[in-house]
Structure 1
């Protein structure tokens, strides 16, 4: 058998030769690991709750609570936005409470309070 490594193949004859020999030639190598960026696994379970976004979480909660008493549309929307930022930075519980209270404040202002004026 002649040295097939130096021979140039078109796709069809190459696939046929691989099927016949049932083994790949030595020149086939995996190179994507040298080119691709390594995969980084980030686990948030070991982080403390709110380590990076506690300030944003408390600010969002304060805005949402203030929106229950004055300017519900503006402060409620601000509390919701800052609550999403807090959740992205790690303060999941504070952010979720701020988002929920902000939504409740806006709903009360738009759908319930008009019946009492």
Structure 2
């Protein structure tokens, strides 16, 4: 009999008494989900495969043109073609063709340096 009274007393203590209709008195009665606050943010827009492929193809062609201009600048008009190769190489690197753009920038810079500092002495 003592156990039944003890059980009833525990049940009464665990019941929450509501102050009003909306406000629970016991914190265990709040039903909130807090996991969303620490979840990683979801990206708003995703690029499709076709968008990346089209951008890469355009950058690749700009990279080849930049590389051709940079190589041509080693032989003819180094400042003009070297500068054009560098500018197109920057566009190619930003577009995704990093290797072609870097080579075009490097060869164009070497061509300009050779054209300004070494060729006048010959």
User: TM class by shorter-chain length?
Assistant: 0.5 to 0.7
Which residue is equivalent to 1:109?
115
1:71 aligns with 2:77: yes
Deviating 4+ runs (over 6 angstroms): none
| Normalised TM-score (structure 2) | 0.56
CA distance in 2, matches of 1:82, 1:89: 10
Find the partner of 1:82 among 85, 88, 98: 88
| Normalised TM-score (structure 1) | 0.58
Unaligned runs of 5+ in 1: 1-36
Which residue is equivalent to 1:54?
60
Question: SS of the counterpart of 2:101?
Answer: helix
**Structure of greater Rg:** 2
Unaligned runs of 5+ in 2: 1-42
CA distance in 2, matches of 1:51, 1:67: 24
Measure how far apart 1:112 and its partner are: 1.2
Output the aligned Cα RMSD. 3.8
Measure how far apart 1:39 and its partner are: 6.9
> Greater relative contact order: 1 or 2 (C-alpha under 8 angstroms, separation 6 or more)?
1
